[in-house]
Amino acid sequence: MRLSVAIDGPAGAGKSTIAKIVAKKYNLMYINTGAMYRAVTYKALEKDISPDNIEALCDLIKDMEMHFENDELYLNGVNINDQLTLPNISKNVSAYASIKEVRVRLVALQRDMSKKYDVIMDGRDIGTVVLKDASFKFFLTASPEERATRRYEELIAKGLEVQYDSILKEIIQRDYLDSNREIDPLTKAEDALEVDTTGINIEQVVEKICEYINKEFEFSTR
């Protein structure tokens, strides 16, 4: 049986940073499902396809081959990772990610990846929908202010001119949209371990997660 680790939580809770480190420790492929929703948004905006044009969106996804190499998303053979975190994508992604037809297609791609590789996948619906039978499930949280500070520092480090207040507002709005959408809203799976990352550093979060995985491994091989 393949090993799979699900990490869910709101924007900026540290999911991708943590997932990349845990992936290296256990030799897992890191699948950033948010990047896949962002890639659809990126292409849809480029081609001027609005979220209510379902047919055009389905056609668009059909022509999108997505895979991950060294933690980065390649779309039709091109690394588009840097474009995916730009503010215009962040602002629009919730609208595209709430479309049933888009989700059905991306969930199918994500499940295919989990059949081919041992994976660690992060997103909003991994433990509840995509990998219901994941070997391990985690739900990462942090206060909106802490998450906004992390995003702000990340974008400033990339040389972008951004305002903390508008990032905080966007995070609060995205939390609301992601948690209240009709299809596969952001929720903690009943069997997920919740880790509040407010005020603790990356190493401490990784330690908690690895401790849990190792303990369960030990238990299952006893």
The annotated binding site for ATP is made up of 9-17
Site string for ligand DC, 54-83 (x = CB under 6 A): ------------------------------
Total residues contacting ligand DC by CB under 6 A comes to 13
Q: Least CB distance from residue 36 to ligand DC, whole Å? A: 7
Give the H/E segment covering residue 57: helix 54-62
Q: Rounded CA gap, 99 and 130, in Å?
A: 16
Assess contact for 11 and 147: CB atoms under 8 A: yes
Q: State yes or no: residue 37 binds ligand DC (CB under 6 A).
A: yes
Query: C-beta of 34: minimal distance to ligand DC in Å?
Result: 2
Q: Does 43 bind ligand DC (CB under 6 A)?
A: no
Judged by CB under 6 A, which stretch of 52-60, 118-126, 136-144, 154-162 contacts ligand DC?
118-126
The CA-CA-CA angle for residues 178, 181, 186, to 5°, reads 40
Q: Does 128 bind ligand DC (CB under 6 A)?
A: no
Taking alpha carbons only, the member of 89, 102, 88 closest to residue 53 is 102
Shortest Cβ 164–ligand DC spacing (Å): 17
42 binds ligand DC (CB under 6 A): no
Best CA proximity match to 11, nearest among 179, 159, 153: 179
Binding test (CB under 6 A) with ligand DC, winner from 5, 6, 7, 11: 11
Q: DSSP string of 59-124?
A: HHHHT--EEEETTEEEETTEE-GGGGGSHHHHHHHHHHHT-HHHHHHHHHHHHHHHHHS-EEEEES
Given the rule CB under 6 A, which residues bind ligand DC?
A: 11, 33-34, 37-38, 93-94, 97, 123-125, 174, 178
